Amino acid sequence: MCFLMMETLSFDGDIISLIYKIGDIALIGLAVMGQNLILNMNDHGFTVVAFNRTVSKVEEFMKNEAKGTKVIGATSMENMVSLLKKPRRVMLLVKAGQAVDDFIAKLVPLLEKGDIIIDGGNSEYGDTNRRCKELAAKGMLYVGSGVSGGEDGARYGPSLMPGGSPEAWPHVKDIFQSISAKVGKEPCCDWVGPEGAGHFVKMVHNGIEYGDMQLICEAYHLMKDVLGMTQDEMADVFDDWNKGELESFLIEISRDILRFKDSDGKYLLDKIRDTAGQKGTGKWTAISALEYGVPVSLIAEAVFARCLSAMQGERIEASKQIKGPATTKYTGDKKEFINDIKYALYASKIVSYAQGFMLLREAAKELNWKLNMGGIALMWRGGCIIRSVFLGNIKQAFDKKPDLSNLLLDDFFKGEIQKCQTSWRKVVATAVTLGVPTPAFSTALAFFDGYRSARLPANMLQAQRDYFGAHTYELLDNPGKFIHTNWTGHGGNVSSTTYQV
Ligand code: 2AM
């Protein structure tokens, strides 16, 4: 009976609210992600109350996409809240920034202690930390959730990364895990950690996505310019790679992009301008890496590679004036080199994820968060843009050793990188010799070699700092004791204060 009423009165939330408190959750923000999440929740048996700043969009949604569903369109925020079961759950899918604060300010007077506000937008984790504390002071619960998978993911199963007030989790778990992507029967959604942990993890996810995409671009560049392969040949290689260790959504779509022909029968990819855009989440990851002092070099290089690509006019001018090696063509065995590229990509990818998890670990330490690392790998395993078989291996590494300090020290990954090493070095060396840029492959290898070095040349650096700035240094056999040397004989013996940024 209830269902029939809602079918006939689908937009008239005012009348329904007088009779029933039937809404399981309210969702504010009817752009693409919001609409698709509502329909996904509806498919899983939840009654969703829909609202939007521009209320006419609610009406449109109810008449079109939500027609014939259990979704209830709210006429106002008051009406929306009056339709909800308690504790009330209100999810925001609005533009990150001021819009979230504005909606929270409007919601607070309408809600009660114990009610839950969920932000599913792309908010900065620092904002989520702040909002979590502000709402806790008012007795309300706040969840900041990463949502990944684009339009299709939102509709049929996204990767969800919720964090915030832990008391909120039992109240949102059922909805979240029901609508999320699944790997086998396991939901790609689990509790990430306190405060802005969910948004932090989503930010790192996006940074890793930048890295994965750049690695694929470098493999494509080498196959195209160094091996002179056709797009169909490259597509076949990606198809082959997608059956092994590299099986992933991004390899799969890259294969399909390579095969795609425009209406004139020509490859579309070749016609696309080589200037990359960005919305900032890769940059935020790199900024966090600098802030926490973690060498997340691959993601940073991926961001810089986009920046360099965007300087197209300057590059075209420079290309006329600055010459590199006489040829970019490889003269050795083509098939063997394709396999080398695959291993260079795989090894670099292992480094990139190792760096990403290092950042998560350090942020968790600094912010006093307990992060569920294995759970994070599983959340990324399906539903999101970086979904891959590889993340299943990462999950296993954390299952074996939940406090694993670095992925590169896990037995499986140690073995895999060993398997790749010769090829990886050959690819980077060849690219350098032929003048084809591979910033991500190269920085990954440099990190790898640095990480496995018991001794680095930073002793020289410390000596230089002490020489010109009296910054002091420690001796190998007496760590912790900072000393200064009068290197020139005419400098003073007074050292500057020791501090670490
Ligand atoms: P709108 O349809 O009224 O523009 C994605 O842009 C979503 O965020 C939309 O639902 C949009 O509402 C909402 N949004 C964008 N800026 C907003 C703001 N300043 N205040 C409230 N909602 C906003």
What pLDDT digit, counting tens, does each position of 234-275 carry?
Answer: 999 999 999 999 999 999 999 999 999 999 999 999 999 999
Pocket test for ligand 1, best of 37, 91, 95 (most atoms within 8 A of CB): 95
Ligand 1 mean position, distance from CA 393 (Å) = 39
Residue 27 class from Cβ within 10 Å (0-12 exposed, 13-18 middle, 19+ buried)?
Answer: buried
CA–CA separation, 426 vs 416, rounded Å? 17
Ligand 1 mean position, distance from CA 95 (Å) = 6
CA–CA separation, 231 vs 220, rounded Å? 9
CA–CA separation, 21 vs 81, rounded Å? 9
pLDDT at position 9 over 80: no
The verdict on the CB of residue 31 being under 6 Å from ligand 1 is: yes
Ligand 1 atom closest to residue 30's alpha carbon, by position in its atom list: 10
pLDDT at position 1 over 60: no
The verdict on the CB of residue 54 being under 6 Å from ligand 1 is: yes
The verdict on the CB of residue 94 being under 6 Å from ligand 1 is: yes
Of 124, 209, 301, 416, which one is the catalytic site residue? 209
CA–CA separation, 11 vs 52, rounded Å? 13
List residues bridging with 73 in a β-sheet.
50
Pocket test for ligand 1, best of 28, 36, 53 (most atoms within 8 A of CB): 53
The verdict on the CB of residue 425 being under 6 Å from ligand 1 is: no
- Position 499 scores a pLDDT of 64
Sign of CA dihedral 299, 304, 310, 312: negative
The verdict on the CB of residue 96 being under 6 Å from ligand 1 is: no
Of 1 and 52, the one with more pLDDT: 52
209 annotated active-site: yes
pLDDT at position 3 over 50: no
As a whole number, the mean pLDDT across the chain is 94
Ligand 1 atom closest to residue 97's alpha carbon, by position in its atom list: 19
Beta strands in 33-157 (DSSP E): 48-51, 72-73, 89-92, 116-119, 141-148
202 annotated active-site: yes
The verdict on the CB of residue 29 being under 6 Å from ligand 1 is: yes
Of 202, 224, 342, 349, which one is the catalytic site residue? 202
The verdict on the CB of residue 101 being under 6 Å from ligand 1 is: no
The verdict on the CB of residue 95 being under 6 Å from ligand 1 is: yes
Grade residue 21 by pLDDT with cuts at 50, 70 and 90. confident
